[in-house]
Amino acid sequence: MLTRKQYELLIYINDHLKTKGVSPSFEEMKEALGLRSKSGIHRLITGLEERGFIRHLAHRARALEVLKLPENAEAGNGTAPRNAFAPKVIRGQFKPSTARAARPEAGAVELPLYGLIAAGTPIEAMRDNTASIDVPASLLGTGEHYALSVDGDSMVDAGIEDGDTVVIQRCDTAENGTIVVALVENTEVTLKRLRRRGDSIALEPANKKYETRIFGPDQVQVQGKLVGLIRKY
Which residue ranges form the domains of the chain, and what is each CATH number?
4-66 (1.10.10.10), 107-230 (2.10.109.10)
Which one, of 200, 204, 197, 194, lies nearest residue 226 by Cα? 194
pTM higher than the cut 0.75: no
Q: What is the structure's pLDDT at 215? A: 93
Query: Given 30, 192, 200, 225, which residue is catalytic?
Result: 192
Q: What is the structure's pLDDT at 92? A: 31
CA angle 224, 226, 230 (to 5 degrees): 130
- Tens-digit pLDDT profile for the chain (233 aa)? 677 788 888 999 999 888 888 888 888 888 888 887 777 788 888 888 888 888 887 666 568 888 888 776 655 544 544 444 433 332 233 334 333 444 443 467 888 777 653 333 445 445 554 577 888 777 787 888 888 888 788 888 999 888 888 888 989 899 999 999 888 887 778 889 999 988 899 999 999 988 899 999 899 999 899 998 888 76
Q: Which SS3 state, helix, strand or coil, does residue 26 take?
A: helix
Query: Given 30, 154, 200, 209, which residue is catalytic?
Result: 154
**How far apart are alpha carbons 7 and 151 in whole angstroms?**
14
Residue-by-residue DSSP string for 41-80: HHHHHHHHHHTTSEEEPTT-TT-EEE----TT----SSS-
**How far apart are alpha carbons 29 and 9 in whole angstroms?**
7
Q: What is the structure's pLDDT at 1? A: 60
Catalytic-residue membership of 138 = no
Catalytic-residue membership of 192 = yes
